[in-house]
Structure 1
Amino acid sequence: MSTEPEPTSEDPTATVDAGPETPGTTDEAGRTADAPVSDAGAGHADAGRPVGDGAGDAGTGDRGVVSAGVPAVEAGPAGDEGGTTGPADGGGVEDAGSAGSAGESAEPGDSGDEGASGSPAGTVEGDGEAAQVSEAEAELAAQQVERERIARRKAEKQGSIDAGGKLSGTAADLLAAVRAVESGEKPAATVFGDPTPAPRRPAPETAPRPRPVRAEQAAGHAGPAPETAQAVRRVLAEGGAPEALAPQTAALLGERAEEALRADPWQLLRVGGVRPEQADGFARALLGAACGPDDERRGRAVTVWLLEQAALAGHTALELPRLTAALAQRGLPDPDAAVQSTLAEGEALAFQDAVGEPGARPEPASGGTGGTEAPDGDEGRPVRVLIGLERFALAEESLADGLARLVDSAPKQDGSAADWERAADSAQGAAADLIRAVAGHGLVLHTGGEASLAELAALLRAARELGLRAWAAAPGPLGRDRFAAQPGGGTSPAAHDSDLTAPAPEGSAAVTLAGLLAGTEGPGRDADGALDLDLLVLLDAPQLDVEAGALLVESLPDGARLVLAGDPAVLWSAGPGRVFADLLAARVCPQVASRRPDPGPLGELVSGIGIGELVRVDAPGKEVVIVPVRDAGEAVHRTVQLVADSVPRAIGVPAEDTQVITPGHGGTAGTRALNAALKQRLNPGPGRFGGFDPGDRVAYSPVPGRTLPGRVVKADADGLHLSCAGETVVVPQERVERSVRHGWALTAHQAVGGRWPAVVVVLPGDAAQALSRPWIYTAFGRAVRHLSVVQGVEQALPRAVAEVPAEPRTTRLPVLLAPQVPVAD
C-alpha cells in the first residue's frame, strides 16, 4: 500500500468554522458530535500506514443511538439535516427511525434512490419547507394517479367485452360489412375498396433533448391560500410555535387548517421537524387544563409520528411490542389504547404475519394488541403483529403482487429458443447464464460489482439483436451514465466519468428510473398505459424502495421481463424497504452471480470489505493511500490539500475529477465544513446568490431523497441556473437554501451510483460510531483509480468492517411473496 503523496507547505483553510448546527433531523452519520476546530498542521510523517494495520484488534464497539433530546423548533435552513445528537439508550422506535443507524438511514438529498424515492428522507426543520414537501406530495399524487389508471385498465380487462365495441376505422367497417352480409343487406362499397396508404410515422427520437426546467414545476399545485396561511399563523403564535411553520402546516391540513389545529393541536406533529415534546407544548398553550398525557388525540398523533420515523430508517412496519414500548417511553399511560385508537381511525393498519411458516398467508390483524400470538382457529401457529402506515403497507403489497405476476407469467416469446441459445453461446461466463435465465423467466436477479456491468450490457445487446425493446434504467443520472459507457449500453461512449454536467450519450439505451416512469426518457407508454418495452434491466437495484418498486412493476406490460441488478453489499435505499435483499433471501426467481472481480488494488480492497475483512493491499501506483489525522480540523486541512494539490500532482487526477465523501452533513468535518473549505480553495467568490458562484460544484435535491450533481452556470432574477446531467435547471431564489448544496463533498448515500477517478474518504474521530460495513464498502467503492482515506477513527475502521453489518429493517415483502410464488430451485 502506498504512502500519501508529498504535501506542499501551503496551508489553505487550515481551520474551518462551519458555525452552529441548526437543530434538525440527524444526518446520515447521525452521531457526529461537534468539536472545536483546531489549527491543522501538515500531518504525521507516517502517512503511509497500511489500511490493514490493527485489524486484529477489532473489539466490540459501543454503537450509541440517537438521543431523545428535544431541540427547539427553529426557522433555520431546512436543508440542515445534520444536527448532532448524543448517545442514548437503544430500546425505542425513535432510535430506529432516526437517521443515525450506521449510515443506513435517509436524509434529504441522499441518492439512494434517486429514483428512491422519495424515498422518505430525514425530516427537516425550519421555514420555507412547504415547497419541498409539496414536491414530494406532488410526486406521490402522480404515483397515485398512475396506480388508479392501471387499476382501471385491469378492471376493463376483467370485465365483459362488447364484441366490436372498441373497434374503429377499417376494422369497424369490416365488422359492419360482415354483419350486413349475415343479415342479407348490402355492405358499404367503401369497405372493399382500395386501401388508402397510411401516413408515414416520423422516426421517434432516441433520447429527449435537454430542455430548461423550472424547479417549482414538480410541485404540481399551488400553495395554500394567503388567508389560510395567515389564519394558521395566528394559531401558531397563540400556541407559542414558530410562525414560519404556517405555510407547511396550511399545505398539510388544507383550507380548514385553523379549525383542525384548534380541535386537535397535536396535528402539528404532522409537520416535518416537529417533535412530540414541541407538539405537547403547543397543545398545552391552546387547551390549557384540558390537555393531558392520556389524551386520545395525543396517542394517535404520537403513534403515527413513530411510524413515520421508523419509515425514515427504512422500516415498512413495526412489530407491535416495539411500538408500544416506544409509546411508553413517550409518556403515554396506555400504549395499547393509543394503537387501538390509531387503527380505529384508519391512520395505520395492523397485520398478522406467520412466524416460521413460509407458505402461510398473512392476514390483517383483527384488533388484538399482543405481540406474537395465534389467530382464532389456529392455536398452534404463532404470528407476529405488525403496525404500519397505509401508504407503505399498500405499496409493499402491490409490489409483491406485481413481482408474483412476473414470476408466474410466461415471458413474451421474442425469438426462438435456438436464437436465445445462440446468443448465450456467443457470450462469456455469467453473461451466458444471465441470457439463458432471461430467456425463460419474467424476473431474474443479477448480483455483482462494477465489473459485472459488462454482463448486463451483453444481455441488452443480445436482446436488441433478437428484436426485443430492451432498456436499462438506473435510480439516478450517475448510474445511467456509468452504464451508457459500457459497450452495448449506448451507441457511443459516455462522457468522462467525472463530467457531472454531461447528458447520456445520444441513442443510449440507458435512462433514469424517474424519467422512465414519467415518460421523459426511454420508450414511453403504450395505449394501455404500460411501459412500451419487452425487457427492463434495473441497475443499482439495492436503491429501490417499496414505493418506487410498486410503481415500476405495475407499469410493466404482461409478458415483459425484468432484471434487477446490483451489488448487495452497498447501502440500502434511502426510502423504506429492502426490496433487492428481500428478493435475494426469498429465492422466488433465478439468481445469477457475476464471477467478474473488480480489478486492481482497489477491487481487492473493496472485495475484502464485502466479506468483513480490511486487508492489506499492494498499491505500487499509489492506488490506495492512508492519511492519519489527529482531529477534525486537521482532517479538513488535509482533505483540501489532497484535492487541490497532492492528488493532481502525484496521481494526475485534477481537482474537478475528485470526489470527497464523509459520513454526514454536520460536525466539524461534515459536508458543510468541507465544502466551505474546498470552495475557498477551488472556486473562491463572494457567493452573492445564496452562497453560490458560477463554476461551483453542487448537489441539487428537487425532492427529499433524490440528488442531482451538477454545476452552477449563472444567477439572475429567475434564480440559480444549474447544469445537471445535461439538463438546465432553474432554482428560484427562495428555494436555493433548501434544495442546493455545494457538491465537492457528499455523503455516501448521495454518492451511491457514481464513480470518480479519485475519491477522498474523510473519517474524523467523532464519526466512529456512524461507520458500518455497508457504508465503508460504498464509500471506498466509488473510486476508479485512486482512493485516499483521511483516517482519524483508528481501530474503529477495521472494527466496523468486521463487526457492524447493515442495520436490520422490518419489512413484509418476504412473507407476502412466500404464499404466492413457488420457491425456485
Structure 2
Amino acid sequence: MSGAAAGGDAASGESAGDGRAGRRAESADAADGDAGAGSVSGATAGRDAASGESAGDGRAGRRAESGDGTDGEAGAGSVSGAAAGRDAASGESAGEQSEAAAELAAQRVERERIARRKAEKSAPIESGTKLSGKAADLLAAVRAVESGGKPATTVFAAPEPSPGPAAPAPEPVRRPQPAPAAAVPATETIEAVRRVLTDGGAPESLAPQVAAALGEGAATLLREDPWQLLRVSGVRPDQADGFARALLGAECGPDDERRGRAVTGWLLEQAAVAGHTALEMPALTAALARSAVPDPEAAVQDALAEGEALVFRDPLDPGAPEPEDDEEERPVRVLVALERYALAEESLADGLARLVNSLAKDPSDPWEAAAAAAAGGAAELARAVAGHGLVLHTGGEAARAEPAALLVAARAAGLRAFAATHTPDGSRRLVGGEEAVGTVAELLSGAAGPGRDTDGALALDLLIVLDASQLDVEGAAMLVEALPDGARLVLSGDPAVLWSAGPGRVFADLLAARVCPQIASRTPDPGPLGELVSGIGVGELAQVEAPGKEVVIVPVRDAGEAVHRTVQLVADSVPRAFGVPAGQTVVITPGHGGAAGTRALNAALKERLNPGPGRFGGFDPGDLIVHSPAPGRTVPGEVVTADADGLHLSCAGAPVVVPRERVEQSVRHGWALTAHQAAGSRWAAAVVVLPGDAVQSLSRPWVYTAFSRAERHLSVVHGVEQALPKAVAEILPKPRTTRLPLLLKTQVPAAD
C-alpha cells in the first residue's frame, strides 16, 4: 500500500447514516479499471471525478466503465509505508493476594446487611402516570443494542480524535448478560412483569428479559425499584428514569438511592462492554456525576453495602516492603468491580498458580519422548512444555503448525492431549485427529474432548488453546479450573489481533506478566498477504509485490459506492478471477450501523445472492448467517428451514435450532461481519470495506485482524484515504483495566 489512497478528488468519505439497507448502484463493476489494484495509500491518487483518471501506484490510468479490478494492470500489491508504530504499553499495576482475599471476605460480611435494608423499605408504591413520548423509542434502543449496536454513550472509551465524518456503530462487543437462570421464567412471572411494564409505559416485549434478569418475584421488585430495568440489555439511565417517573410519580428523584445503586451497576457493565474487568474509583465517580447522580461516592458505597459490587485496594508497588508503624501507608489504586468478573479473575489467577506450582520438576519419560519427536519450531515448544505447567506461544497463521505438531507428538507418546480453538473453522485448520481437536465451548460442554475424571476435571495431560487472544476472563477461568493438577497448558495466539470480545485481556496480561516461558515462532506467514499482514503487525503498511493479484484495491468515493462495489466483488469479480464462490468470501466492515455497515451490506448481498421475502423472521433457506449462542461467541452457518420449534440452521455441519423468541437476538445475516465476529476464522477470499465514515473505528489491531482473514485473496474497498496508514502506525488498542497482572505477580514467581 503506497502513500496515496486511490480515490477521486470528490471523495469525501461522508457517512450516509445508519441505514439498514444498502442501495445497489446500477453502474460498472466494483472492481473496474486498472488503477490501484493492490495499492492502498494515504493520499488521493489523483483520479479526476469526471473523467475517471487515477494514478494508482504512481501511474495514470483511465478508469474503465466496465471490467474487473482483479484483472487490472497497475499497482498490484503496492502498499505504501507508514512509520513503524509504537509498541503497545502493557504495564499494569499490581497488589497482594492476601489483601484481595481479605477484601472479598469483608464484602461477603457486608451482604448480611442486605436483608435488613430490604426489610426497612416501604410497601410497593402505587403506579403513576404513563411515560410520556413513544414507548417504541425504548424498544428500538434495546433492539439496536441486541443487534450489535452501541449499547450507550461510551462512558469509558478513550477520547475521540478531532471532529471528522460521523462514525458508524463501533466494533461490536456484546453487552455482558446476567448468568442464565436455572429455568425459564414461569408464565405467571412474565405476565406479572408485563403488567408493571405497561403501567410504566415500557414495551411489553421486554417482559421475558426482565423476568429472566430479576428472577422469581420480578414484578414486585421492579415496582419497588423501577431502576432495576437497567439490568436489561440496551436500556439507558434516561429511559429507566422515565419508567421510574411513570411508576413513582412525585416520589421519583435523582437523589433516590435506588437510582444511584442501579446506575453504578449499569456503569460497571458498560465498562465490561469496553473490556474492563474493574474500574478505578475516580473514573467511576466521575461517570456517576455525568449521569446526574448527586453524591457519586455515596452511590458507590451503597452499591458495595448491598453486595452489588466489590472494592479492591491494590498497592501500586506490590514488591515494596510493608510500611513500619511510623511510615505512611503504601499508595494504592482503588478499584470497583462487578462480582462475576472480580471472582473470575481471582479464580483464573489461582488456577494458573496451581498449574505452575503443582508440576513435578523432573519431566517424565512420555514428555521427554514428545519433545524428542518434535522438530523445528515445535521442538522448542515441546521442550518448554516438558518442564513447565504453563507456556505461552505467539505467532501468526503459519505458526499454528507448531502447536499442531506438539499435539501429534504428545499423543504419539501416549499423553492425553487436546487442542481447543475459538471457532469451528479454527479446528478445521488444525491437524491432529478429529477426536483431539474442538472448540473451547465444545470442550467445556463435553461435546468434544476426553470428558471428565472422577473429580470432575478434564481427563487431560496437555491442553493446547489456540486463538488465545480471544479468551475473555470468564472463559479462561472455566478452562483453567477444569484442568487437573499436574496438567500442562499451552496458550497459543497472535498478540497483534483484536483482544477478546468479552471483558479482560487474558493473553496480553499473561505476556506482560512474564510468569512463564514464552516461545515466539519464527515461522513467517508466506506470500504477499503474509508480508502485508506482518508489516501491519509492526505498524507499517509495507510495499508488497502481488503478481497473482493477491491484494487488490478498489477506490470508492462514498458509502453508497462502497456497498455497490462490494456486492459486485463478492458476486462476480472474485468468483470470475479466482474461482472462489461467493459463499467462501467474507466481507468485513468496522461496524453494524452506517450506510456501509453489516446491516446495509447484508441487505444488499442477500438481494443479489439469495433474494427472498424473509419469511422466517427475515430469513430464507440458503441465507448465510452468524449465530451467537452466548455473548462474545459467533458461529457461521446457513438457514435450512423453520417450523414451530424455531429457526433451523446448519452451523459448522451441525444442526442447530434457535427458538423463535431468540432469533432476533442471536441470529444475523452473515455475508458481512465485523472484525470481532471474523476473528478466529479464515476464508479463501476477504473483502474489507473501509468507507469514509469508518475513520474513527480504525486501529492497528482492527486492520491486522481484518486483513489477515484472507487465505488467497484480499480486496480492500478503500475510501478512508490517509486514515489507514495513520491507524496502522499510530492507533494502538484502547487500554483495559484488569487485575490479572497484579494477582499473577503475587501468586506466581517470575519466569527465568
TM-score > 0.5 by shorter chain:
yes
Shift of 1:692: 2.0
> Could you say if the C-alpha distance between residues 529 and 359 of structure 1 is closer, same or farther in structure 2, counting changes exceeding 3 Å?
farther
Conserved in 2, the CA contact under 8 Å of 1:102 and 1:775?
no
Alignment match of 2:347 (pick from 389, 393, 398): 398
Please report the TM-score for the alignment, with normalisation by the length of structure 2.
Answer: 0.80
Alignment match of 1:782 (pick from 698, 709, 717): 709
Shift of 1:424: 3.6
For 2:493 and 2:718, how far apart are their aligned partners in 1? 28
Query: Which amino acid in the other structure matches residue 388 of structure 1?
Result: A
For 1:801 and 1:59, how far apart are their aligned partners in 2? 8
Shift of 1:412: 9.0
For 2:218 and 2:203, how far apart are their aligned partners in 1? 16
Conserved in 2, the CA contact under 8 Å of 1:302 and 1:327?
yes
Task: Tell me the residue number matched to 1:522.
Answer: 449
Conserved in 1, the CA contact under 8 Å of 2:23 and 2:563?
no
For 2:472 and 2:721, how far apart are their aligned partners in 1? 34
Conserved in 1, the CA contact under 8 Å of 2:145 and 2:151?
no
For 1:101 and 1:346, how far apart are their aligned partners in 2? 38
Q: How does 1:178-189 map to 2 (within 5 A)?
A: none
Alignment match of 2:260 (pick from 292, 296, 299): 299
Please report the TM-score for the alignment, with normalisation by the length of structure 1.
Answer: 0.74
For 2:298 and 2:325, how far apart are their aligned partners in 1? 21
Q: Deviations over 1:575-615 (max 9, x none)?
A: 11101000000000011000000000000000000001111
Alignment match of 2:175 (pick from 118, 122, 141): 122
Alignment match of 2:629 (pick from 692, 699, 702): 702
Task: Tell me the residue number matched to 2:586.
Answer: 659
* Secondary structure in 2 matching 1:73: helix
Task: Tell me the residue number matched to 1:258.
Answer: 219
For 1:584 and 1:19, how far apart are their aligned partners in 2? 39
Query: Which amino acid in the other structure matches residue 234 of structure 1?
Result: R
Conserved in 2, the CA contact under 8 Å of 1:412 and 1:560?
no
Q: How does 1:117-196 map to 2 (within 5 A)?
A: 121-122=174-175, 137-138=179-180
Task: Tell me the residue number matched to 1:74.
Answer: 139
Task: Tell me the residue number matched to 1:440.
Answer: 387
Query: Which amino acid in the other structure matches residue 538 of structure 1?
Result: V
Query: Which amino acid in the other structure matches residue 543 of structure 1?
Result: Q
Task: Tell me the residue number matched to 1:796.
Answer: 723
Conserved in 2, the CA contact under 8 Å of 1:268 and 1:274?
yes
Shift of 1:78: 3.3
Conserved in 1, the CA contact under 8 Å of 2:19 and 2:593?
no
Q: Percent identity?
A: 68
Task: Tell me the residue number matched to 1:672.
Answer: 599
Q: How does 1:576-591 map to 2 (within 5 A)?
A: 576-591=503-518
For 2:171 and 2:585, how far apart are their aligned partners in 1? 25
Query: Which amino acid in the other structure matches residue 692 of structure 1?
Result: F
> Could you say if the C-alpha distance between residues 803 and 260 of structure 1 is closer, same or farther in structure 2, counting changes exceeding 3 Å?
same
Task: Tell me the residue number matched to 1:156.
Answer: none
For 2:747 and 2:736, how far apart are their aligned partners in 1? 22
* Secondary structure in 2 matching 1:760: strand
Conserved in 2, the CA contact under 8 Å of 1:240 and 1:285?
yes
Does residue 1:354 correspond to 2:315, yes or no?
yes
Query: Which amino acid in the other structure matches residue 221 of structure 1?
Result: A
Q: Deviations over 1:256-286 (max 9, x none)?
A: 2222122212111111111111111122222
Task: Tell me the residue number matched to 1:455.
Answer: 402
Conserved in 1, the CA contact under 8 Å of 2:700 and 2:729?
yes
Query: Which amino acid in the other structure matches residue 137 of structure 1?
Result: A
Q: Deviations over 1:745-772 (max 9, x none)?
A: 1111111111111110111111110111
Conserved in 2, the CA contact under 8 Å of 1:51 and 1:616?
no
Conserved in 2, the CA contact under 8 Å of 1:412 and 1:534?
no
* Secondary structure in 1 matching 2:137: coil
Query: Which amino acid in the other structure matches residue 575 of structure 1?
Result: G
Query: Which amino acid in the other structure matches residue 175 of structure 2?
Result: G
Task: Tell me the residue number matched to 2:290.
Answer: 329
Does residue 1:389 correspond to 2:338, yes or no?
yes
Shift of 1:313: 1.1
Query: Which amino acid in the other structure matches residue 438 of structure 1?
Result: V
Shift of 1:696: 1.7
For structure 2, which runs of at least 5 residues remain unmatched after alignment? 3-14, 44-79, 86-134, 161-165
* Secondary structure in 2 matching 1:810: coil
Query: Which amino acid in the other structure matches residue 778 of structure 1?
Result: T
Q: Deviations over 1:456-512 (max 9, x none)?
A: 1111111112210011001221211121xx3xx22xxxxxxxxxxxxxxxx341111
For 1:570 and 1:723, how far apart are their aligned partners in 2? 28
Conserved in 2, the CA contact under 8 Å of 1:375 and 1:383?
no
For 2:84 and 2:545, how far apart are their aligned partners in 1? 26
For 2:353 and 2:712, how far apart are their aligned partners in 1? 41
Conserved in 2, the CA contact under 8 Å of 1:57 and 1:795?
no
Query: Which amino acid in the other structure matches residue 690 of structure 1?
Result: G
> Could you say if the C-alpha distance between residues 291 and 18 of structure 1 is closer, same or farther in structure 2, counting changes exceeding 3 Å?
closer
Task: Tell me the residue number matched to 1:210.
Answer: none
For 1:542 and 1:441, how far apart are their aligned partners in 2? 21
For 2:325 and 2:288, how far apart are their aligned partners in 1? 27
Alignment match of 1:574 (pick from 501, 507, 524): 501
Conserved in 2, the CA contact under 8 Å of 1:402 and 1:554?
yes
Task: Tell me the residue number matched to 1:169.
Answer: none
Q: Deviations over 1:50-84 (max 9, x none)?
A: 12554678899xxxxxxxxx993115783765687
Conserved in 1, the CA contact under 8 Å of 2:703 and 2:728?
yes
Conserved in 2, the CA contact under 8 Å of 1:460 and 1:471?
yes
Shift of 1:737: 2.6
The RMSD of aligned alpha carbons is 3.2
> Could you say if the C-alpha distance between residues 421 and 456 of structure 1 is closer, same or farther in structure 2, counting changes exceeding 3 Å?
same
Does residue 1:50 correspond to 2:39, yes or no?
yes
Query: Which amino acid in the other structure matches residue 756 of structure 1?
Result: W
For 2:300 and 2:405, how far apart are their aligned partners in 1? 52
For 2:282 and 2:142, how far apart are their aligned partners in 1? 36
Task: Tell me the residue number matched to 2:74.
Answer: none
Conserved in 1, the CA contact under 8 Å of 2:148 and 2:172?
no
> Could you say if the C-alpha distance between residues 580 and 625 of structure 1 is closer, same or farther in structure 2, counting changes exceeding 3 Å?
same
Alignment match of 1:308 (pick from 265, 269, 277): 269
For 1:104 and 1:689, how far apart are their aligned partners in 2? 28
Shift of 1:358: 4.4
For 1:744 and 1:269, how far apart are their aligned partners in 2? 33
- How many residues align structurally? 648
For structure 1, which runs of at least 5 residues remain unmatched after alignment? 3-15, 22-33, 61-69, 108-120, 124-132, 142-219, 362-373, 491-506
Task: Tell me the residue number matched to 1:482.
Answer: 429
Query: Which amino acid in the other structure matches residue 681 of structure 1?
Result: R
Task: Tell me the residue number matched to 1:117.
Answer: none
Shift of 1:122: 2.8
For 1:77 and 1:296, how far apart are their aligned partners in 2? 25
For 2:152 and 2:477, how far apart are their aligned partners in 1? 36
Shift of 1:548: 1.0
